[in-house]
Amino acid sequence: MNYALDTVCIHGQGQREGIETTGAISFPIYQTAAYAHPGVGQSTGYDYNRVQNPTRKELERIMTDLEHGVDTIAFASGMAAVSAFMELLKPGDHVVATDDLYGGSIRQFRLVNEKNGIRFTYVDTADLTAVEEAIQENTKLIYVETPTNPMMQITDIRAVSDIAKKHHCLLAVDNTFLTPYFQNPLDLGADVVLHSATKYLEGHNDTLGGFLVTSHKEIAERAREIVKTTGAVLAPFDAWLILRGIKTLSVRMEKHQENALAIAGWLQKHPKVKDVYYAGLAQHPGHETAAKQCRGYGGMLTFHVDKEETAYHLLEHIRLIQFAESLGGTESLMTYPCTQTHADVPEEKRRANGIDGTTLRMSVGIENVEDLIRDLEQALT
């Protein structure tokens, strides 16, 4: 079958595994550590939960279909997916990465991968010349986040994938912000897609999870070998929560986007707001590229207020919107990147990326947009 995206969120493209005999509509949670063997030298295909679990497998099937990959591996968190993926590299390998990445990914590269002999060059991957110039003889990977966090820069995935192919390196894209509902990096030439499922995919601010989706069988096999060894697999109940979350991904993403567009427009007109970064706005520098490669612009936006005191005042006076550091859930959250998500990024680098004490990032939830605007209005006065 070739179902549309909103159907795939609920059913995938094919059939679920035929191990369920009761007809339960909701996929069962297989809460078990091990599985009994029918005989000596025999297996049901399920031996031990670190290696196989039906609930996790069902979720991986849906994600593979949503991202148009050949396989998906589900992890205990987004960072578990990123760190397992980076294990595919060897000491001496070089990586070109977006300079405005999720702070946790930068910390993973600096604290873990650099110690193990992997080298990184950070560039603005929206600038294709800068990407090409950063490539070295030993470059094995280009690692991109688009839109970036928090400045919402857009990288042309197809163009970067052409550069990656020319230099025989892999392209990985962190697709957490747009989800496969709005963007499919594998269709644009990426080799690997990484996700924090904690965000929009699960969607309710209530569990952690991560994915690696790939268009190459051998990458999937190596990544599975790594997670089987290192152990950061997704628990059955968390797999079920994410399966349930994804069922409503299409309606949530539409509403996140509708609210974000309205709030971006409202913020632009506010006298205490300086700049608004949202790729759905026509004047955003990445708007055209985003319009070409995505089906939507998502629910994340960043803005600068006139001074640091305004930012503090807003964070201390929002009531409906909560001051917290995650994103992608039904509840609207406001983040202060310089002390939260990007606190580990050296100040000089933060400033170079446009992040300072006046920068605020909002994950626009799916509440009534008039209520959200009223909350912002009273917190900005």
Ligand X SMILES: *Cc1c(COP(=O)(O)O)cnc(C)c1O
Catalog residues that contact ligand X under the rule CB under 6 A: 77-79, 102, 104-105, 145, 149, 174, 176, 196, 198-199, 208, 210
Concerning whether 361 is annotated as a catalytic residue, the answer is no
> Which is closer to ligand X, CB of 60 or CB of 174?
174
User: How much of the chain is helix, strand and coil, in % rounded to 5?
Assistant: 40, 15, 45
Active-site residue identified among 6, 16, 50, 187: 50
Concerning whether 174 is annotated as a catalytic residue, the answer is yes
> Which is closer to ligand X, CB of 28 or CB of 354?
354
Active-site residue identified among 61, 140, 199, 255: 199
Active-site residue identified among 30, 35, 46, 102: 102
Nearest distance in Å: CB 377, ligand X: 28
Asked if residue 252 lies in contact with residue 200, where contact means CB atoms within 8 angstroms, the answer is: yes
Concerning whether 71 is annotated as a catalytic residue, the answer is no
> Which is closer to ligand X, CB of 198 or CB of 310?
198
Strands 94-98 and 139-145: parallel
| SS3 of 126-141 | CCHHHHHHHCCCCEEE
Concerning whether 50 is annotated as a catalytic residue, the answer is yes
3-state secondary structure at position 116: coil
> Which is closer to ligand X, CB of 135 or CB of 235?
235
Nearest distance in Å: CB 76, ligand X: 8
Indicate the residue whose CB is closest to ligand X: 78
Nearest distance in Å: CB 282, ligand X: 25
Spatial distance between the Cα atoms of 103 and 61, rounded to a whole number of angstroms:
29
Nearest distance in Å: CB 64, ligand X: 19
Spatial distance between the Cα atoms of 56 and 257, rounded to a whole number of angstroms:
29
Half-sphere exposure of 103 (CA within 13 A, CB side): 21
Nearest 5°: the CA angle 257, 259, 262 is 110
Catalytic residues: 50, 102, 174, 199
